[in-house]
Structure 1
Amino acid sequence: MAGTTQELKDITIAFDVMGSDHGPEEVVRGAAQLSIEAPHIHALLVGDRELIDAALADTKHRAEQISVQHAPDFVGMDEKPGEALARKKNASVAVAAQLVADGEAQALVSAGNTGAGVLACARHFKLIPGVRRAALAAVYPTRGTRGEKQDPFSLILDVGATVEATAEDLVAFAVMGSAYARIISRNERPKVALLSNGVEPQKGPPRVVDAHAKLSSMEGIHFVGNVEGVEIPKGTVDVIVTDGFVGNVCLKMLEGVHETVMDLARYAYKEKLRWRAGLAMLSSGIQRIKDITDWEQYGGAPILGFDRIFIKAHGRSKARAITNAGKVAAKAVAHQLGTTIQEGLAK
């Protein structure tokens, strides 16, 4: 792995406390729990100081591992990111991004407005050399583990940051996704594939065909060719590369799988006794679906391509998800994700 692993005691994570669906309390509780579970990680809480102090007063934490930076404003979920950040110079996500850019913290975690988070990072962070556009990656559940992979999740990118990606963008996404999978999923040789309408190298639009040719000749990346959409939930590969439009459609479909299954189960349970018996027999399988679609386990999704780490937690994140997002961010910093990506692109 590239670079020297940074000591965890040197890592500070800036948390955008405001703007999530559950308000600042859950973010503060998550950071407080992080201070107990990972006492060598410092949490810098950015938001309304009065609200943060009130939440900390009711939450067990290691006071020496937590500090507060006052930021009176925040960007709401329903606000337009550009307009909101222009009006609110001291919005918590913007202040947090600036603190990371200034070296006061090494990574940013936010459960707030995704667009505002990406825009704040674009304004304060730099793109890694060789990256033209940053990518929003999403962790999604698969049917199980494979080979060296130590978790049931895979990665798809981009899922919304770059709607129209060029062949060069897709190649960069592949390198970034591979580096992230190696570090976070502890998968030394992640399988990387392009999403297309056929497995043949010539299938897909020109940018996909061109990216296929480029990736096939690259060293340091385990490129296995094209995959079709049916392979996504099977976990055939570890990293799936596509543009932001297609990726976002796939992500929304995956997010609906668990909700649909559970709705059907609830309906069946109410209808007939024998269906209840059937559901009892399937209960372990349904629980498995719940487990692997539980996004709180992996905390959040990375924005890849910047020289600083940004983990975007789900807007509905509660304390456990925030804690795990902090751990993922610290892991990415400790293993120098940015350096790994830059070296991969240089190859």
Structure 2
Amino acid sequence: MDKKGLFLFILVSCTCIAIYALLGRVSLTVVMTTAEKSKPGMHFVYLGTGETEGATDDTRATLSCRLKNKVPFSTITRTLEAFQGRPAVRNVFPKQSLENMVHYNSCAVVSSSHAMKFHKYGTKIDAHDAVLRFNCAPTKNYTVNVGRRTDLRLINTVIPYSNCQREFWDKRIKMFNNEIVVVRNYLNVRVNKNNKLDLRLDAHHSFENYIRYRRRFPNRAMHFFQRPNFGWDIKNELKHFCNGMTNCKTTEFEKSPSTGAHGVVMMLHLCDWVYTYEFIPSAVDRNTTLAHYFDEDLKFTGRYHSYNTERDYWRVLTVTPLEEVEKTGVAVFRGLSQYNCT
């Protein structure tokens, strides 16, 4: 080979080596970027159509452990430091927190969605170890659809301020009488940095109504009030989750978690398995504007609560395939007790 040919051979060889090295570096950069985007808690794809998919077991475990650690569940007891020096108030509250008194294997969380009218889940719902319902949701006349048992009932602060007043205060009515009743606490009852009660945002007097109720019916079934900041912690966890999506509406951050979200998180702490009914909406009643299965007048607005983010959150946490949820409206979740979080 002459000198000119040798020079061209060396030039081409060096060029090929440089290109190969460059491609290797580019490929490595792509791999690192992909790995960076696949951090725990972010390993799902938001489709922009109200559905998330691609959640792995590791992602579910990561989000569940965050929920377990960042949003612990308890209820207010008489040992709350803010009650010291106020025995008349303190003694109205239970000695123990709810999570120390009950634990279930299988739980049903039954939404009040209008879509429940299109299912006949009554027998399956009643077969669970515990059934949670919300607010004034009735079973009478709807047992085929929603079942007849109610073991726990979570109520928002509007009750009994404007809704369910008769059912709430009349001891002859079964609702609220033979159930574990828990009051939702978003920002209604807080404790300030000086360990004093802060009720400035309790617009519907839920704390006052709780005390009145306990004094009027001291021998009724257990009644509890979710701990201070429970709902606020749920909101922060939903915000963290929302920040991991590519198409999350930040306007949701301005809204409070729904009573349903308070209930599902509560039951994830109290149960080994949680079956939700129409919390992730099925396709059976997609075009309706109605809110409740027991009310053909009230329209659903979604104005006050972060329903969209909540539903995306449940879609990632459920172990049920989303195509099955789409058909049935039933989503199954592993309780937080099943996760060994370090």
What interval of TM-score do these two structures reach, taking the shorter chain for normalisation?
Answer: under 0.3
TM-score by length of 1: 0.27
CA radius of gyration, larger in: 2
- Choose between structure 1 and 2: higher helix proportion: 1
TM-score by length of 2: 0.27
- Report which structure shows greater RCO (CA 8 Å, sep ≥6): 1
